[in-house]
Each structure stands twice: as structure tokens, then as C-alpha cells.
Structure 1
Amino acid sequence: MVSKILIANRGEIACRVIKTARKMGIATVAVYSDADANAMHVKMADEAVYIGASPSSQSYIVIDKIIEAIRQTGADAVHPGYGFLSENANFAAALQKEGVAFIGPPVGAIQAMGDKITSKKIAAEAGVSTVPGHMGLIEDADQAVKIASSIGYPVMIKASAGGGGKGMRIAWNDQEAREGFQSSKNEAKSSFGDDRIFIEKFVTQPRHIEIQVLGDKHGTTLYLGERECSIQRRNQKVIEEAPSPFLDPATRKAMGEQAVALAKAVGYHSAGTVEFIVDGDKNFYFLEMNTRLQVEHPVTELITGIDLVEQMIRVAAGEKLPFGQDEVKLNGWAIESRLYAEDPYRNFLPSIGRLTRYRPPVEGGRPDGTIVRNDTGVYEGGEISMYYDPMVAKLCAWGRDRRQAIDAMATALDDFEVEGIGHNLPFLSAVMQQSRFRDGRLTTAYIAEEFPDGFKGVELDAETARTLAAVAALVNQTLQARAVQISGTIGNHRRIVGSDWVVRLGETDVALTLANQGEGFRVSFADGEEIGATTDFVPGATHAKFNLEGVQIGVKIDVVGSAVRLRWRGFDLRVSVRSPHVAQLARLMPVKLPPDMSKMLLCPMPGVVTSITVGIGDVVEAGQTLAVIEAMKMENVLRAERQGIVKRILPTPGQSLSVDELIMEFE
């Protein structure tokens, strides 16, 4: 067994590896850049070594710096996590030359599967079903358009060395093929140092389902079931689950056996993932093999009870797998929601800043038998940097069946508090309530189809309005009671908290009466409906539990002046609780209109200007590219919303911009 593991990574995956190593009694070494000097993985590890400047190109993906850190600390094994050097054959070879165990597959397997073109050829030879496409490299945009036209639109333009959604574009016509080729090439060069591109047919109505494989060095290779990863945005997975609600046992077995056949064809050992695209008739096609631990591995661990990191370490140490294929059982259902530092109300653009509040739900078993797990690498007071992937945490929930797992996830999201950055918690909560998701009717186009105009929040229905009105009234009652205690009597009169209220939620008014019954309250609505209600809310609390007629919910609360901000199940509402008389007067107040920003292009996220494609005096058309901003390793193309004439341009390529900084103005 190895004695000291250096984790050549950062963030939540570094913390994840440290947890298992600690459980196994193995010492750990963290590496860190300038941006990560105070990171959680640095604090958790037994030792930490500084490896350079914040950009990963100057730290985490510099092989020589990792090797030097190994020499300094005497580590005898390296776990690469995912991303960075995890699928770099040169890195694995350098460790082999150094006499250090690589906690991953052999060099040959990384080389064979790391190139998307080569991997498809090997897969076809191994009897694995593959997607039609052009297997050769593509030299320029003209050739890309020609090939895409011959295959037939839509097509997927992909980086040969890609992964994690980087360097991928879907093209539906010649123009998109031309633009997508260049953007994919640029992202591939920036993310992987390899700008080779290929094109394949894009399967419509597809599901993204992957098989987890695990092999040892003694000839045993197994599959550990599948993961459904269809809910994606820009080819980046957002919500995953295991097993898939779509597969039947026969299809699962066929996919698993093909995945194992591919792994054996390249002499694979350690944990790996074979990704498939599956159409509506359960036909499946090989996409790629990730020769590393996947981001979404926790859901497989939750339904199999197998610690994949532990097995990777044991395989690297030469041990045999302690179980066979017949012993792999799928138990229950697990859901993973990726918490990203991105603003769903701004088309999911990246967000950076300090986590002024970061309070995940309590991990472990719940009274109803469900389990909550949160893999994270941040803490309250820490910063989300612009240099790395925007993922903050992976929240997982396990239940006996899919419906219970979804409900457990919804509750956990309600209990997750994050402030200081834009984040996608409201979006994740909203998805958990959608009937299409709960029914398992998923495709990789789910987000585009369900949110065609982006995420604008959740529309308030009558039932939710009553629920949140009752919550707001209880919060107001607690605050008013505290104010009375502080102010005491005025003259000979003691202030009394009223019982009749009008709760304003957006444009909706809910009239109710709140009666104190000693151990709780009775909430009476205008139509005669009554519910019993209790809460543990106290002034200053930012989260509280509310029991409404036997149903317990968790709501995030912020007192904002005379109003209360409530967040629950994707709703984010500024709520006012007023007496009937004050509510009547409030309706007469004029509404302040927002300023007209229609003639300005503002930077939607912190990032670096990579190009400005127009000049002062140019006439631009709706949809025309104006500028490209790079943020968190992704290119973001900014387009004109309408026709106009460019009046002035402020930044130049290479300049860093903050959120809402002016880029250009139109006449």
C-alpha cells in the first residue's frame, strides 16, 4: 500500500481524495497556486506545496512543478482528480519514470482514449456502437463547413483532446459550423493546449448516459451501473442521477458489456467512464471514454456502496478487486446537483467574489431514511476565483426510489445558503419541481427546451402564494413581537401586534389573519381556509423551518428594510407584510421605472476581452457578434440585440472587465 499521496488538483475533488486517504491512514500532500493559498484542500492536507501563479497554465498543469513537489515531499503516489493533468499521458509517463504510482489507468490507455478520433476507431474495432462522423482532423473553417454539410446537420464540433464540455459546439447550418469551429478551436487551445477538432453527427432527442467501469491489474474489469447526465448547459453537466430512469435491465447489461469490452481492448485498470449517447428507441452510441474519476462519481458510490477513490488507490497499489460483477448491486436512487458560481438570471454567466455566506445542509442520514452528501472545496469567507471552473459544490441526495431522492434533493437545496456570488441554486430548485423532470422525460436539450428564454425565476401560483404568505406573516409576527418587547409602553399605552395583514408577493396580494394559539398560530385566509402553523424562526436567522398544517419546509430569509426576502423551491420574492390600511395606501405609490440601458453593451460577467469584432461607426445587425469575453476557461460571445450604429468602444483586447462594465455604446 502507498504511504503518501500527492493530489495534483484543487477544490472539491482534492478534498474528496483527502477524505478517503485519511480514512485509509494514508498521508496527503496538497499543491496550490497564488489564488488557492487559503483554499480548503490546502488546509485539509497533511502537507502543502506552492506551485506557482494563479493561471493553471503556470501552476496546476505544469508537469515539472508537480514532479518537484513530489520530490520535496517524498510522495510515493499521485491522484490527479479530474481535469488538469488527469488525462495527460505525458504526466503519467513522467510519474512512471520517477518511480511514483499514478492512481489512474496505464499510459497506453490514456493515449488511446484521450484522442477522440483514435478512441472511436478502437471502439468500433472492439464491437462498440459508434456515432457516424468524420474521423480525420479538420484543418480550417471551410473544411469544417464542407464536412458538416456532407454528414448532414445538425453536427457536433468537438475538440479531439476535449472534456468537461470545453471545445464543443452544436451547428445547425453553415454559419454556425464556421463560427463553432473557430470557437471550439480557441477553447481547446486554451483549455488543453491542443486545438485539433473533429465533427460527428448530432443525435436529436438524445440522452447522455454513461457507464462506470472499474478494473484491476489482474485482468478483472467490471461495470458499476450507469449515470444519467442528460441535463446539460453548453455541454456542461448540471444534474446527474443513478441509475437512469430510461434504461431497462437488458439495455443496461448491453451497454455495460460494451464498456467493459472497450476497457479491456486498451488494457484498462482503475476507475473510468464510457460515455454513450442514447436515442428514444434505446439505441446507444459511443461518445468517448474518460480515463479518470468523473465529477459525478458520488451518485454511483451512493447506489453501489463502493468508494471509487479507495478502489483506485488499492488498484494502483496492485491489489485485486474484492468483488465480482455478480456482487455489484444497485440500491436505491441518487441525484447530484452541481452548484455553480454562475448567475441563472443572466443566462448562467460566471460569477466571482467572496462567499459571505456558505452554509450547506447537514450531511448524513435523515429520519425518513434518505441521505445527503455534499462534496465541496470552499468555505464561508473564501473566494471564488476567475481562474478556475465555476463549480462550488456537488450536492447529492439518496432515496429508496427516484421520487424520494428528488424530494430529498429539493429539501436539501432549500436548506443550502449561499451569498456573495451569483449561483444556480434557484434554478436547481426549480428543476426539481418540474413535472417533466420528475417523470424522467429527459434529453440533452432539456434546459434549452424548458427555459428557451433563460431562467427568469418561477411563476407564482395560488398555492405557493398562500404558503409563502403564511411564512412571511410568521416572520413578521416574530419581528413585531420583538419590537414590542424593546419599545415597551409609549405613555400609558402598550403597543399591540395586530392580527390582520395583507402580504404582498410581487404583484399578488394575500389577505390573512394570524391568531396566536400559545404553541403555534392559526392562519385564516379570506376564503375561509385555515391552517395551523409553527416556526423556529428567530430575529437574525437567515434560514428557518416552518410547519404548515403538518408539512415542514425550510425557507431562506433576509430582512431587507421593511420587507422580507424569501427563497424557496426556486422562488425568490421580496415580500411586504402590511396592515390592511397601509396596504391600501401602498397601492397608490408610483412605481420607479428602471433606467434605459438599451443602447449600451455591458459586460455580463467578470472576464477578459479576447476580441472586439466591430469598430466605431459600424452598422450592426441583430445577432451580429460584437465582442468575445473569456471567463472561467469558457468563451462567451456577445451579440447585438437589435440594429444600431456603434458610437464608442471602451475596452481593448486583453483588458479585464468587471460585471456591468461598459463595453460599447450605440447611437
Structure 2
Amino acid sequence: MAITKILIANRGEIACRVIKTARKMGIATVAVYSDADREALHVQMADEAVHIGPAPSNQSYIVIDRILDAIRQTGADAVHPGYGFLSENAAFAAALEKVGVAFIGPPLRAIEAMGDKITSKKIAAEAGVSTVPGHMGLIEDAEEAVRIAAKIGYPVMIKASAGGGGKGMRIAWNDTEAREGFQSSKNEAKSSFGDDRIFIEKFVTQPRHIEIQVLGDRHGNTLYLGERECSIQRRNQKVIEEAPSPFLDEATRKAMGEQAVALAKAVGYHSAGTVEFIVDGNRNFYFLEMNTRLQVEHPVTELITGIDLVEQMIRVAAGERLSFGQEEVKLNGWAIESRLYAEDPYRNFLPSIGRLTRYRPPAEGVQEDGAIIRNDTGVYEGGEISMYYDPMVAKLCSWGPDRQAAIEAMGQALDDFEVEGIGHNLPFLSAVMQNARFREGHLTTAFIAEEFPDGFQGVSPDADARRKLAAVATLINDRLQRRATKISGTIGNHRRVVGREWSVALGSEAIAVTFAQEGDASRVTFADGGTASIRSDWLPGQTHATFFIDEMPMGVKVDKIGYSLRLRWRGIDVIARVREPRVAELARLMPVKLPPDTSKMLLCPMPGLITAVAVAEGDTVEAGQALATIEAMKMENILRAERKAVVKRVPVSVGASLAVDEVIMEFE
């Protein structure tokens, strides 16, 4: 059959991604949107758009009848579900089949078999795929969960049977965590998927999360397109992915690929899909689940294989055969994907909402050094990040001929990516790219917890970075000073002269420098005699520029705050104050303003909805005790007591919508 018009039953960056390929293939597209997405980028990009309801996804994007009505209105003859929402919903696929609309995805049987994680593990075992030990039956209540977890042996993973994207997943190390984790997983599963069934399996310690991309047509041809390393995770949600994996050898890659294909064939799979494995330090691998849809991280596979997976999905849905075989799939170079989330890393990665007052991604395409930059996004400057959907803003990807080149390209691209108006994880992503363990490829799913045990506090600049940033601040200061002299001009017989001696304070440390112009470049001399050549085309008012220090480029974000400069580079975020030496000497005598004391308050860490308050006024709470639960962006967050205390006041109640830093409770 010929596909002429595709309705994308999704939103955000994946809807935009599908539209791009459909446009390339000459196929018309239809977007659907909720109240919150009236001005969304995917709505603007599509040929047609249909409103499908209120902002909450359970009243719009995952209501099958609303999608079917949009199909009837527009005459779409095919639907691409993207990922999440209805992408692995068997009832949705069946409804499309009933009305004669092509589903750009796998057959109904595969969705039913693999969409249920309990059934999928049984089928995988029968197909000869190695699986993780666990309890595959449904679990009725928290007490049964505790008994099963103790029998399997802690730690265990509590998972939603219909889950995905980190929703409805908890790791439990003891009975208390199993009891709490079961209920939270059940609540999240019901909210996100409309299915609250839960199962438990053994949690493999020191694991890597490696997945195999499979692709099949309707004519029995099935193959694998290499693997993706997805071990950098937080709250069971992938943050950074790469292809290929720095850990696998060719023999393990082949074995995993063949098992993935065997599983796909066992359920008559066609279209694109992913088989996820957990791999231990000895390269033993165990089946986790099969995602019967396009994965968020599919761009890294596309970059190293040159295969457009969305195009292949559309062609398969139209009944075409794959135009290549397994022997023709070649892995070329290395690709990395960094997920840009609307999450504040300085506040334990809690969700952030608001308007994108500045959104300027790095230039896409082939760079001067041969690297490739790609940015899949569904937002734009001036757009709004709402509380109703997943907090992912964009997927920044880099390609290089080898892993080191891909990392360097990603580091530079992150430096060049400007995002303002919301809390976001760009500094954290930059920090990971510079992390020695990451660069060496020594990864596990515990990477973030082990490398940032106290949370992300930003990157502290080392001596070399401090010198570079001091040089940048000095050059900017010189430009600002010279601009000021042109504005003030000559007063009487006196003309303002820009000095050469400066003190650059970065945080609490001051660096003495001498600045001199030398043609197109300038020279900064430090107190110990060291020097640095610096040049840049930065002009006052610019928020980002490239500074060449000894001809090495630095992409630095610059903001002028009063008489100070905020400089951001490679995860470093510092306030620089460039003063004349005498002014700097006097400034050290000034008192420091202290922040207000909030130690006796529980403040709302993110915009969200209070779903539970576990204590009352007058209660004595212990350290670690649950105080309240807040839901934001489809995730439940339990707020706990930091120390023993007595509750003095609880000014909020269940159902209240709170802003960041609103008081939830006070303590005596």
C-alpha cells in the first residue's frame, strides 16, 4: 500500500522528528495537540493539526477515541505513535486495524507479547534468550511484594509490567523500601500507563545497560543494527547514550544481536524495535525487556549506520522489503546522545517549568573538524515547558570517527548550547563529558550515584581552568572599559585611561593579571610569570562567544550581572569580578550578606501537585521519614525529613498546586 498522509500520535521532539522524515519522503503529516501544546513546534511543522483535548495526557494524547476522531477528520491513512503515550498500546493498534489505518509499528501480537514484561520474559526464555531471575507473577499488595523480594534476595527491582521510560520503577534494598517502592511504582504505572500491574526481579549490581536495535519487514527478514550503551542513568531514566558500546567485543555483540533477532522472530516482529539487556562485568548478558517502538536514543544508531529508522518503519508499514541484509550493516565511527532535560541539577534534578527566554542550540551538520552535530528538539525560544509532560527539551547528538572525537565534539556543542528561563541539566552533561571515568569508558548504571554521591554541585575549576576563565574575564573587562571611554569621551583636559593591572576574583580566590593588547590578540600575564594569548570576537551584549586561548577554542556563556560577569564553561559556573588592585583590596573588607535561614522549613523543591501529606502538626518525625509526596511531570517524589524534629505547621493539603520554594511545612 502507498502511505500518503501520516498522523503522529505524539508530541514534542519525536513528533518533529517523524515530520522531518515524512517531509523528505513526500508524505503529508498531521499533528495532534492538547490545550498546553497549541503553540508547540510540532503543530507548526505539520501540514495539518487537530486539537484533541485538555493538557493532561490522560484526557488527550492517550485517549484512543480522540486520536481516531482526528484520523477521521483528516483522512490520514497511517499513524506513527512515536514513543510513550500509545506507542505500545495493543488496544490502540487493534483500533487502527479495525478502521483500516496502517500502524507504523510492529504487529498486534508482538505488542501484546512484549508490552507485558512478565509475558515477554517467558517468551524470551523459550526463545533461548538468557533472562534475569525474578518473580514473573502479578503481585497483589505491598506485603506480598516484601515477601517475594526477601525470597529473591535484596537488592531487587520493582517494575511496572506496562512500564517504560523509567516510570514505575524502584530499586529496593530492604523491606521498607520494597513496601514503599511497590506503592509508588503502582501509582506511577496507573498514572502513566493506565495499568498498575507490578513484578519484581533481581537487581544485578554493577550492571551495564546495553540494548540491541532490531529491524524487520513483513516478509520474514529481520536483522540487528548494532548496540547502544545506555548505562548513564538517573532514576532509571537514560541521560547519555552512545553507539557502539565501549565495553562489548565483536563476539558478544554478535551473540546479543542474534538473541535479539531470535526473540523478534519468535513473536513475528516487523518494524523497528529494541531488545534491552543488562550486562555484567564479565560480559554475561540478560534480557530485560523488548520495546516495541522507536527508542528515544535511536539517533546514535542512525549516525553510525547511516540508516534512517523512521523511514524504514514507514516503508515496512507500506509493505516494502528491507533493501539491505545483515552483512551490509556496517558500524562507522562513534555517536553520543545527551538528553537535555528541564531539570535543575543543583536541586537534585527536580523538574523545572517555565518559558524559554533563550534557546539557541549549536549549529547542526558537519563541523570544520569533520564531526557531525545533530539536535532533535520540539521547542523554540519563547516557548513554554509545562508541568504536564516529560521534561526532555532536546536530544543533542555528536558523531566522530572514534569515541574520543565524539566526546570532544559533544563537549564543544554543549558549551555552545544556550538555554535560559528554566532549570536544565546542561552543566551536568558537560561535567560528564569531562569526567575521567566516562572518558575511559568504565560505565555502570550506578555511574551517576558513584561519581556524584552528594548530588551535582557544579564543577570546581582546577588551576588551568581558573587561569583560562580569568583571561576571558580580563578580555571582556577590557572591551567594556574601552567602550565606556568612548561613551564618556574627554572631560576638560583629562581622558579616561584603561589600566593594565587587574585583580580577577573567581569566587573567593583572586588572581592578579596584567593585560596588554597585541594586534588581533591580547596577552594576559599572571603573577607567577605565566602568560596566555587570547582573542575573541565577543562584543558587549553577546551572551555567548568563542575565546581562543593559545589558539585553543573555548565556547563560553557570558552574562553581565551588575559589575560582575557570570561565566559558564564545561560545567563550571562562576561569578568573575574584575577590579583595579586597590578596589579589590578594599572589597575584601566588605561584609558578606548571608542567605535567609530556611533550615526549619520543608520547601517545595519543584512546581507540582501535593498527592500525600504523611504527618500532622505536633508529630515528631525521624531522619529519613516520609513527610509528603509531590507529583510533577508524571513522576512521584517522596520528600523526607533531614533530621529529627517536631512539626509546627502544615499550611498545605492534598491536591494543592505549589510553586518552587513554597512552604509545605514548618518545624519547631
Q: Provide the TM-score with structure 1 as the length reference.
A: 1.00
SS in 1 for 2:205: coil
CA offset digits 1:289-329 (Å, max 9, x no partner):
00000000000000000000000000000000010000000
Q: Distance in 2 between matches of 1:503 and 1:642?
A: 40
Q: How does 1:534-613 map to 2 (within 5 A)?
A: 534-613=535-614
1:592 CA drift (Å): 1.1
| Residue 255 in structure 1 maps to residue 260 in structure 2 | no
Provide the aligned C-alpha RMSD in A.
0.5
User: What is residue 29 of structure 2 aligned with on the other side?
Assistant: 28
Partner of 2:162: 161
Structural mapping, 1:238-249, within 5 Å: 238-249=239-250
Distance 1:633 1:396 in 2: 26
1:173 CA drift (Å) = 0.6
What does 1:28-107 align with in structure 2 at a 5 Å threshold? 28-107=29-108
**In structure 1, how many angstroms separate the alpha carbons of the residues matched to 2:315 and 2:176?**
50
Q: Which amino acid aligns with 1:234?
A: R
Q: Distance in 2 between matches of 1:491 and 1:558?
A: 34
What SS does the aligned partner of 2:210 have? strand
Q: How does 1:160-559 map to 2 (within 5 A)?
A: 160-559=161-560
> Matched residue of 1:150: which SS?
helix
Q: Secondary structure of 1:641's partner?
A: coil
CA distance in 1, matches of 2:232, 2:655: 33
- Distance in structure 2 (CA, Å) of the matches to 1:268 and 1:26: 25
SS at match of 1:374: strand
CA offsets 1:548-605 (integer angstroms, 9 cap, x no match): 1110111000000000000000001111001111111111111111111110000000
Tell me which amino acid in the other structure corresponds to 2:359: Y
* 1:518 to partner: Cα distance: 2.2
Q: CA–CA distance in 2 between the matches of 1:168 and 1:432? A: 27
Deviation at 1:11, TM superposition (A): 0.2
Aligned residue for 2:623?
622
C-alpha distance in structure 2 between counterparts of 1:249 and 1:520, whole Å: 49
In structure 1, what residue type is equivalent to 2:181? Answer: G
Match of 2:137 in 1: 136
Alignment deviations for residues 492-524 of structure 1 (CA, whole Å, 9 cap, x no partner): 111111111111001121111110112110111
Q: 2:153 — aligned with what? A: 152
Q: Tell me the alpha carbon deviations over residues 260-297 of structure 1, each in whole angstroms, 9 at most, x when there is no partner.
A: 00000000000000000000000000000000000000
Cα deviation for residue 651 of structure 1 reads 1.0
Runs of 4 or more off by more than 2 Å in structure 1? Answer: none
Q: Read off the aligned partner of 2:121 and give its amino acid letter.
A: K
Contact 2:376 2:396 in 1 (8 A): yes
Runs (5+) with no aligned partner, structure 1: none
Letter in 2 for 1:32: Y
3-state SS of the aligned residue for 1:531?
strand
Q: After superposition, give the CA deviation of every residue in 1:352-394 in whole Å (9 maximum; x if it has no partner).
A: 0000000000000001110000000000000000000000000
Amino acid at match of 2:642: E
Question: Quick one: distance in 2 between partners of 1:110 and 1:479?
Answer: 61
Task: Give the partner amino acid of 1:215.
Answer: G
Measured against aligned partners, the alpha-carbon deviations of 1:25-79 in whole angstroms (never above 9, x if no partner) come to 0000000000000000000000000000000000000000000000000000000
When structure 1 is superposed on structure 2, of 438-447 and 587-596 the one drifting more is 587-596
Matched to 1:195, the amino acid is D
Render the CA deviation track for 1:185-227: whole Å, top value 9, x for unaligned: 1100110111100000000000000000000000000000000
**Structure 2 CA distance for aligned equivalents of residues 462 and 236 of structure 1:** 34
Q: Secondary structure at the match of 1:211?
A: strand
Shift of 1:460: 2.0
2: distance between equivalents of 1:47 and 1:545? 40
What are the superposed Cα offsets for residues 388-411 of structure 1, whole Å, 9 maximum, x if unpaired?
000000000000000000000000
Counterpart in 2 of 1:2?
3
1:157, distance to aligned residue in structure 2 (A): 0.3
CA distance in 1 between counterparts of 2:627 and 2:38 reads 37
- Offset from partner CA, 1:225-273 (integer Å, 9 cap, x none): 0000000000000000000000000000000000000000000000000
Question: What letter matches 1:339 in structure 2?
Answer: L
Task: Report the Cα distance in structure 2 between the residues aligned to 1:97 and 1:492, rounded to whole angstroms.
Answer: 89
> What is the one-letter code of the residue matched to 2:419?
V
Q: SS at 2:558's partner residue?
A: strand
Tell me if the contact between 2:471 and 2:532 (Cα under 8 Å) persists in the aligned partners. Answer: no
* Equivalent residue number for residue 643 of structure 1: 644
Alpha-carbon distance between aligned partners in 2 of 1:518 and 1:215, rounded to the nearest angstrom: 61
Instruction: Give the residue type in structure 1 aligned to 2:221.
Output: T
Aligned-residue sequence identity (percent) comes to 79
**C-alpha distance in 1 between matches for 2:133 and 2:534:** 59
Q: CA shift at 1:625, angstroms? A: 0.3
What amino acid maps onto 2:206 in structure 1?
A: Q
Instruction: Determine the C-alpha separation between the residues in 1 that align with 2:518 and 2:32.
Output: 58
Q: Secondary structure at the match of 1:615?
A: coil
**How far does residue 430 in structure 1 lie from its aligned partner after superposition?**
0.4
1:530 CA displacement? 1.3
Give the corresponding residue for 2:653: 652
Per the alignment, residue 118 of structure 2 pairs with: 117
Moved more, 516-525 or 269-278: 516-525
Which residue identity is paired with 1:184?
S
- CA distance, structure 1, for counterparts of residue 214 and residue 606 of structure 2: 38
Question: In 2, Cα distance between the equivalents of 1:527 and 1:200?
Answer: 59
SS of the equivalent of 2:477 reads helix
Residue 388 of structure 2 aligns to a residue in which SS?
coil
Which whole-Å CA distance do the structure 2 matches of 1:82 and 1:482 have between them?
52
Asked if structure 1 preserves the Cα contact closer than 8 Å seen for 2:9 and 2:79, the reply is yes
For residue 659 of structure 1, report the CA deviation from its aligned partner: 0.3
TM superposition score normalised by structure 2: 1.00
Name stretches of at least 5 consecutive residues in structure 2 with no aligned partner. Answer: none
- SS class of match (2:121): helix
Q: Deviations over 1:94-122 (max 9, x none)?
A: 00111000000000000000000000000
Q: Secondary structure at the match of 1:576?
A: strand
Aligned equivalents of 1:167, 1:329: Cα separation in 2 = 36
| Separation in structure 1 between the aligned mates of residue 165 and residue 349 of structure 2, nearest angstrom | 16
Question: Does the 8 Å contact 2:501/2:581 carry over to 1?
Answer: yes
